[in-house]
Structure 1
Amino acid sequence: MHTIEQLDDGRAVYLNGQRVKVSEIPIFRKTLALNNQYYDLQKTHPEVHTYQENSRTYDIAFKVPRTIEDLRQKHQAYQEIAQSNNGMLGRTPDFLDTGMAILAERSAFLGHNEYTDFGENAKHYAEWIKENDLFISHALQNPQLDRQKAINGIPSGYAGVHVLERTDKGIVVSGAKMVNTMAPIADDLLVFNPPELLLEKGDTSYAVAFATPLNTPGVKVICRKLLDHPGYTEDDYPLSNALDEIDAYIVFDHAFIPWNKVFVENDVEMSNRFFIESGMFIHTSHQDEVRGITKLEFATSLAIRTAHVLGLDGFLGVQEKLGRLTANLELIKGTITRSEEEGHLDEFGIYTPSQQALLAVRSTLPEYFEAALKAAQHFAAGSMVGVPGFAEFDGENGPILEQALTTDLAEAKDRSKLLNLVFDLTTAGFGQRQLMYEYYHGGDPMRIRSMHYHDEDLSAGNAMLDKLLKR
């Protein structure tokens, strides 16, 4: 855990055209406090959030699961962390930390070159993160400049991160990565290429994976516009004034990376294999989908609460809509459970959840989340649009509003706060970013479904077809 002041460590963070100190941005401070629940829960609920190894105590995210019980404990920890922020922070430390545990076990495939052993580098880096319980952000998505061209065919030099120079001490890199979530408040940055955007021959300078502190000279964190609303309280904007996950555009300008922090270099095949074969993809997916359940349950509960407070839940048509939402939630919960029950021990003795089940969640959960948002928005409708600023309750119109907006089902302020929450999550910029995040943060939905179709085991179904059609 670190304080916000410790992040004023020389890192180059830019916001609205100005280089800023992280500690001076109020929403950064609030977001870090929520992110630090990951560390707080280790103290307040250690039986779930920690484990013992070699007489040391570590966060459960770093435990290599050997049994289904290990995976279930990690599930519970992921869920409690997500509940502390209502599932709105997609990249809390447990996301990549669980990937680090697996990387340390599976890294030998990365091989070596004449300067360094990449497999050992990755193993030692993962162990160092574990020993210090650091918070890592990751940068994998390349900027969408011209997807019709190979990455090396885009002349700007910012179509990805590439190696400019290599010496016996390390590499010098330049370029960019987009949508690096939580980067301004992380300790370290893990940089690699996404598996769905395979590099091609000629892209070798872009075939790189490495880690670096955020305050490395030559690294710039350029934040998108913030989504909070200065001048208003959290009663007006219950979510967006409480946190912002802070996506950023990362620029590398002749940044030096020592060899011991390099895991792939000048190797297209290894760059394409890195995320999947390291085991990080499947185990971070498990954490991500558990967080997704939490977020879906929050949105579902919000739709149901809204219908109740507005006196709509007595109508059969509304009950049917709400039943669809609760059925969706149960389907997702059941599929996550299936991913754990249908897991297997890999060749390293790591208990690994079912990828097919997790991909089914990833391809479906965004639609279920959107359905819950649309239901809440439909129920609230003009009621949420007409809520006055909360400061009005303390002004001369306060008594009028208390009388006019109070019902048998809710006091005026409680009703207004709920409607503000619906607006924040379903209509305002914060909510739209959350929806877009769910659809795209795990990769292109079309590619996910395509992968799922190709890998589905339909042997039983095909056997029935063959039996029927051959008689």
Structure 2
Amino acid sequence: MHTIDQLDDGRAVYLNGQRINVATIPIFRKTLALNNQYYALQQTHPTVHTYQEDGQTYDIAFKVPRNVADLRQKHRAYQEIAQTNNGMLGRTPDFLNSGMAVLAERSAFLGHNDWTDFAANAKRYAEQVKAHDTFISHALQNPQLDRSQPINGIPSGYAGVHTIERRADGIVVSGAKMVNTMAPIADDLLVFNPPELLLEKGDTSYAVAFATPLTTPGVKIICRKLLDHPGYTEDDYPLSNSLDEIDAYVVFDHVFVPWENVFVENDYQMSNRFFIDSGIFIQTSHQDEVRGITKLEFATSLAIRVAHVLGLDGFLGVQEQLGRLTANLELIKGAITRSEENGQLDEFGIYTPSQQALLAVRASLPGYFEDALKVTQHLAAGSMVGVPGFGEFNGDNGPILQQALATSRATAEERSKLLNLAFDLTSSGFGQRQLMYEYYHGGDPMRIRSKHYLGEDLTNGDAMLDRLLK
């Protein structure tokens, strides 16, 4: 765990055209405090959040799962971390740490070149992160400049991160990565390429995977516009004035990376394999979908609370809408349980959750989340749009509002804060970013569904068809 002031460490973070000290931005301070709940829970709830190995105590995210019980314990820890931020922080430290747990054991496929042993580098780095409980974010997505062209056919040099110099002591890289979530407050960046946009033979200079501290000279973190509302309180904007996950465009300007921190270089086929074959993808997917359940449950509870406070929950049509949301929630919970119970031991003795079940969650959860937002919008409607600023309760009109906005089910302030929360999650910039995040952070939804179709085991269904069609 680090304090916000420790992030004044020379990292080059930019906001609205100015280089900033992260510690001076109020929403960054709040976000770091929520992110640090990952570390705090290790102290306050160690039976769930830690485990012992060789006489040392580590966060449970680093535990290599050997059976379904291990996955269930990790599930519980992931859920408790997500509940501290209502599932709104998708890249808390447990996300990539769950991948580091298995990278150390699965790294042999990375091989070596004439300068370094990539497999040993990855194993050592994963063990290093575990020993220090380092907060790492990842720089995965290449900027979407012109998808009709191969990455090496875009002349600007910013279509991804690529090697521009190879030396005896390491490599020099330049380029960019987009949507690097939590980058301004992380310790390290893990840089690699997404598997759904496969590199080709001519893309070898872009075929890199490495880790680098965010303080490395030449790494520039350019934040998107913030989504908070200065001048208003958390009563007015309960979510967007409490946290911002802080996506950033990261530029690498002649950044030196020592060989010991390089895991793939000049090998497009290995670059395409890195995320999947390392085991990082499947283990982080498990963490991510548990976090997603938490967020969906929050959105479902919000819709139900709005219906109750507005006196709508006695109508059959509204109950049907809310029942659809609760049914969706149960389906997602069931799929996560199935992913754990139908897991298998891989060749390394690592218990791996069912990819088919996790892909089903990723294919369905974004739509279910959007359904919850739409129901809340329809139920709250003009009520949430017309809420006055919370400061009005302390002004001349306060006594009038106390009477005019109160009901038998809520005081004026309670009703107003609930409706502000409904607006913040469903209609504000913060809420729209959360919706976009759920749809796209796990990859292209079309490719996810295609992959699920191609991987589904329909042995029993095909047998029944064949019996009838003979």
Q: Name the TM-score class by shorter chain.
A: over 0.9
Whole-Å separation in 1 of the counterparts to 2:161 and 2:8: 25
Match of 1:233 in 2: 233
Would you say 1:402 and 2:416 are equivalent positions? no
Match of 1:7 in 2: 7
Would you say 1:166 and 2:163 are equivalent positions? no
Superposed displacement of residue 244, structure 1: 0.1
Deviations 1:368-396 (CA, angstroms, capped at 9, x unpaired): 00000000111100000110000000011
Whole-Å separation in 2 of the counterparts to 1:134 and 1:265: 24
Whole-Å separation in 2 of the counterparts to 1:389 and 1:321: 30
SS at match of 1:235: coil
Whole-Å separation in 1 of the counterparts to 2:250 and 2:105: 29
Match of 1:366 in 2: 366
Matches within 5 A, 1:183-222: 183-222=183-222
Match of 2:127 in 1: 127
Deviations 1:400-419 (CA, angstroms, capped at 9, x unpaired): 00000000010000000000
Match of 1:322 in 2: 322
**What code does the residue aligned with 1:84 have?**
T
SS at match of 2:435: helix
Would you say 1:352 and 2:333 are equivalent positions? no
**What code does the residue aligned with 2:418 have?**
L
Match of 2:72 in 1: 72
Match of 1:145 in 2: 145
**What code does the residue aligned with 1:276 have?**
I
SS at match of 2:201: coil
Match of 1:311 in 2: 311
Superposed displacement of residue 206, structure 1: 0.1
Whole-Å separation in 2 of the counterparts to 1:157 and 1:6: 33
Superposed displacement of residue 235, structure 1: 0.1
Superposed displacement of residue 453, structure 1: 0.4
Superposed displacement of residue 86, structure 1: 0.1
Question: How many residues were matched structurally?
Answer: 470
Whole-Å separation in 2 of the counterparts to 1:167 and 1:368: 50
Whole-Å separation in 1 of the counterparts to 2:22 and 2:202: 39
Segments of 5+ residues of structure 1 without an aligned counterpart are none
After the TM superposition, list the runs of 4 or more consecutive aligned residues in structure 1 that deviate by more than 6 angstroms. none
**What code does the residue aligned with 1:215 have?**
T
SS at match of 1:340: helix
Match of 1:466 in 2: 466
Would you say 1:457 and 2:435 are equivalent positions? no
Match of 1:433 in 2: 433
Whole-Å separation in 2 of the counterparts to 1:402 and 1:379: 22
Match of 1:106 in 2: 106
Match of 2:299 in 1: 299
SS at match of 2:322: helix
Match of 2:447 in 1: 447
**What code does the residue aligned with 2:386 have?**
G
SS at match of 2:202: coil
**What code does the residue aligned with 2:360 have?**
A
Would you say 1:155 and 2:138 are equivalent positions? no
Superposed displacement of residue 102, structure 1: 0.6
SS at match of 1:212: strand
Superposed displacement of residue 76, structure 1: 0.1
Deviations 1:236-295 (CA, angstroms, capped at 9, x unpaired): 000000000000000000000000000000001100000000000000000000000000
Match of 2:280 in 1: 280
Whole-Å separation in 1 of the counterparts to 2:239 and 2:142: 29
Superposed displacement of residue 209, structure 1: 0.2
Deviations 1:298-328 (CA, angstroms, capped at 9, x unpaired): 0000000000000000000000000000000
Superposed displacement of residue 23, structure 1: 0.3
Deviations 1:43-102 (CA, angstroms, capped at 9, x unpaired): 000000000000000000000000100000000000000000000000000000010011
Superposed displacement of residue 123, structure 1: 0.3
Would you say 1:86 and 2:86 are equivalent positions? yes
Whole-Å separation in 2 of the counterparts to 1:427 and 1:29: 24
Whole-Å separation in 1 of the counterparts to 2:323 and 2:438: 22
SS at match of 2:189: strand
Match of 2:224 in 1: 224
Would you say 1:416 and 2:416 are equivalent positions? yes
- What is the identity percentage for the equivalent residue pairs of Structure 1 and Structure 2? 83
CA RMSD of aligned residues (A): 0.3
Superposed displacement of residue 466, structure 1: 0.6
**What code does the residue aligned with 1:371 have?**
D
SS at match of 2:155: coil
**What code does the residue aligned with 1:156 have?**
S
**What code does the residue aligned with 2:467 have?**
K
Deviations 1:407-446 (CA, angstroms, capped at 9, x unpaired): 0010000000000000000000000000000000000000
Whole-Å separation in 2 of the counterparts to 1:101 and 1:245: 24
Match of 1:96 in 2: 96
SS at match of 1:263: strand
Match of 2:389 in 1: 389
Deviations 1:320-361 (CA, angstroms, capped at 9, x unpaired): 000000000000000000000000000000000000000000
SS at match of 2:196: coil
Whole-Å separation in 2 of the counterparts to 1:140 and 1:430: 22
Whole-Å separation in 1 of the counterparts to 2:87 and 2:404: 34
Whole-Å separation in 1 of the counterparts to 2:184 and 2:156: 25
SS at match of 1:52: strand
